[in-house]
Amino acid sequence: MKKLSYNTLQELNYKGYLLPDAPERVLQFGGGNFLRGFADYFIDVMNEEVGFNSKVVVCQSVTTGLTNLINEQEGLYTLLKRGFQDGQQVSDKRVISSLSRSINPYEEYSEFMACAHNPDLRFILCNTTEAGIVYDPECHFTDTPARSFPGKLTQFLYHRFEKFGDSPDKGLFILPCELIDDNGKELEKCVLQYANQWSLGDDFIHWLERRIFFCSTLVDRIVTGFPTSEAQAIFHELGYEDQLLNAGEVFALWVIEAPDFFKKEFPSNATDLPILITDNYTPYKIRKVRILNGAHTSFVMGAYLAGFRIVRDCMNDEVISGFMDKIIYDEIIPTLDLPKEELESFAISVKERFKNPFIDHELIAITLNSTSKWRARLLPTLKEYVKREGKIPSCTAASFAFYIAFFSGHTLTKEGLVGTSKEGDYLIKDDRAVLEFFNDKQGLSVPELVHTVCSNESFWGEDLCQIPGFEDEVVRCLTSIGEDGTYETMKLYL
């Protein structure tokens, strides 16, 4: 079977959209599954629908990457989008032709820097993982390349500044896709630190401030990558071998905080793509954290103790699904300020994502570091609901009781704290201090345990016992869990 290439597609009489040649207007740090299943797909659609006419040149972000594969396949790969949309199961295939080539800066540093001299370049994308946007003071300007991603970016930007000076049309929009808050601002901060550390001059710093736009973004799509178990069957169906085959869910959202004139240069508004350009991405970040992430954290520990193992199975159970609906619609949405219709539409998409038959999302994986997750995802809902409604949100309190029940383990090991459910032992993973805390609290009565967990300010940043009625509601729920289990307890809240 032939490998994917433009010639192979021509021989197969492929009728889909392809863009063999276009200016390299986008530089991308990282060629992994996520960006290829997210931003590169969006660019491909904009190329087809609104004549964006842009190719993406990939800069490999680590020493070992996909550069050779990308170049062997002429930048082409197939994207599978699979899941639920508007109540219907969807499975869609598209050949993506937005990539032009890939460069390994560890072996082709001069080729990487030559991209800085490209007059067509206008956008930089990156996804170097959450650990990628960090300042490493051991990096030097003379490194080829600098070890850290912000160091490489600073080197690149300085070479562009040297080439074009203050020419207004040679500035760049930088769109980081790392999953950290204010990723644009954090990246800018690192670049400015290097500019100062390396004494690159005030003119360069002023150029960064005037011509380089670090746009914070929110990205949301599950991209599962190469479908190993299905690959050969998919190759047979496609008629070619594709070692860059990529798979992800149908849902996607890209919120970009950018100046208004960005819309003229990045014409996503002229398509139906789920890209939102705004002057403030914070409300959308809060919406995602509170509804999607908050929903996950609200039920997974209770569902696990009830014998469930996969998110999709929980959505097919009327009790667990009903509990999640109640916390989203009755407790979370009333605390948010975006239009209700918009919030409810997002909630519907969340449930469709959780039901995706192509993704086996394990509950035990979601329970990792649940202490910090509950604080970030559900504590704001608790406090805002009490502020607005003057009472305790009962399902949110129940989720806290599920957390305590799940974390009530009996044996501390190097790997984590061992707990026991009716299905057998399971491993609780969190910060060591959290595990030691719960291990030390074995034997306490329900009221004593709830009080000591609620009052632990190192966990929550405050004493939750000071929220009137919260401690009592958690005690009531945890007592019910001890008597009847989490599943029967969930029923009480429907």
Kindly state whether residue 64 falls inside one of the protein's structural domains. yes
**Contact present, 56 and 40 (Cβ < 8 Å):** yes
Q: What is the spatial distance between Cα 150 and Cα 135, in angstroms, rounded to a whole number?
A: 7
Residue 109 sits in a domain whose CATH number is 3.40.50.720
Phi, psi angle pair for 135, to nearest 5°:
-95, 120
- On the question of pLDDT at 374 being above 90, the answer is yes
Kindly state whether residue 49 falls inside one of the protein's structural domains. yes
Of 257, 278, 299, the residue that ends a domain is 278
The reported pLDDT for the residue numbered 184 is 97
Q: What percent of the chain is modeled with pLDDT above 90?
A: 96
- What are the structure tokens assigned to 492, written together? 């009480």
Mean pLDDT on 372-398: 97
The reported pLDDT for the residue numbered 85 is 87
Q: What's 2's DSSP letter?
A: P
If asked whether residues 270 and 290 sit together in one domain, one would say no
Q: Which of 59, 63, 12 is nearest to 35 (CA)?
A: 59
∠38-42-46 over CA atoms, to 5°? 170
Count of C-beta atoms within a 10 Å radius of residue 455? 15
- What are the structure tokens assigned to 197, written together? 């550390």
3-state secondary structure of 173: strand
3-state secondary structure of 26: strand
Q: Compare 449 and 88 and report the one with higher pLDDT.
A: 449
If asked whether residues 214 and 311 sit together in one domain, one would say no
Mean pLDDT on 296-301: 97
If asked whether residues 181 and 317 sit together in one domain, one would say no
- On the question of pLDDT at 130 being above 80, the answer is no
* pLDDT tens per residue, range 36-55: 999 999 999 999 999 999 99
- On the question of pLDDT at 492 being above 80, the answer is yes
Q: What is the spatial distance between Cα 114 and Cα 106, in angstroms, rounded to a whole number?
A: 14
Question: Considering the chain, what is the average pLDDT of its residues?
Answer: 97
The reported pLDDT for the residue numbered 87 is 85
- On the question of pLDDT at 387 being above 80, the answer is yes
Counted domains in the chain: 2
If asked whether residues 248 and 128 sit together in one domain, one would say yes
What is the pTM assigned to this prediction? 0.91
**Residue 314: which region, alpha, beta or left (left: phi > 0; alpha: psi -120 to 50)?**
alpha
| CA 417 to mean position of chain CA atoms | 27
If asked whether residues 104 and 184 sit together in one domain, one would say yes
First to last CA, the chain: 55
Pairing outcome for strands 24-29 and 212-214: unpaired
Residue 359 sits in a domain whose CATH number is 1.10.1040.10
If asked whether residues 12 and 42 sit together in one domain, one would say yes
Pairing outcome for strands 172-176 and 55-59: unpaired
* pLDDT tens per residue, range 159-194: 999 999 999 899 999 999 999 999 999 999 999 999
Kindly state whether residue 300 falls inside one of the protein's structural domains. yes
Mean pLDDT on 6-31: 97
Based on DSSP, count helices (H) and strands (E) in the chain, helices before strands.
24, 15
How far from 425 is each of 50, 101, 307, 411, 455, CA to CA, in Å? Answer: 55, 49, 12, 10, 28
Q: What is the spatial distance between Cα 437 and Cα 407, in angstroms, rounded to a whole number?
A: 10
- What are the structure tokens assigned to 367, written together? 């329970």
Q: Which of 174, 125, 132, 165 is nearest to 151 (CA)?
A: 132
The reported pLDDT for the residue numbered 246 is 98
Question: DSSP assignment of 68-91, as one string?
Answer: HHHHHTTT-EEEEEEEEETTEEEE
Q: What is the spatial distance between Cα 77 and Cα 55, in angstroms, rounded to a whole number?
A: 14
Count of C-beta atoms within a 10 Å radius of residue 56? 26
- What are the structure tokens assigned to 90, written together? 């969807």
| Number of residues assigned to the chain | 494
If asked whether residues 237 and 323 sit together in one domain, one would say no
Kindly state whether residue 408 falls inside one of the protein's structural domains. yes
Of 278, 311, 329, the residue that ends a domain is 278
If asked whether residues 317 and 191 sit together in one domain, one would say no
If asked whether residues 167 and 249 sit together in one domain, one would say yes
Count of C-beta atoms within a 10 Å radius of residue 53? 13
Of 240, 257, 278, the residue that ends a domain is 278
Mean pLDDT on 249-278: 97
If asked whether residues 79 and 226 sit together in one domain, one would say yes
The reported pLDDT for the residue numbered 456 is 98
The reported pLDDT for the residue numbered 274 is 97
If asked whether residues 357 and 372 sit together in one domain, one would say yes
3-state secondary structure of 214: strand
Q: What is the spatial distance between Cα 98 and Cα 37, in angstroms, rounded to a whole number?
A: 12
**Contact present, 467 and 382 (Cβ < 8 Å):** yes
Kindly state whether residue 1 falls inside one of the protein's structural domains. no
Query: Which residue segment(s) compose the domain that 143 sits in?
Result: 6-278
Q: What is the spatial distance between Cα 493 and Cα 393, in angstroms, rounded to a whole number?
A: 11
- What are the structure tokens assigned to 479, written together? 């007592």
Q: What's 289's DSSP letter?
A: I
How far from 93 is each of 68, 250, 291, 365, CA to CA, in Å? Answer: 23, 11, 29, 29
* pLDDT tens per residue, range 54-90: 999 999 998 889 999 999 999 999 999 999 888 889 9
If asked whether residues 241 and 323 sit together in one domain, one would say no
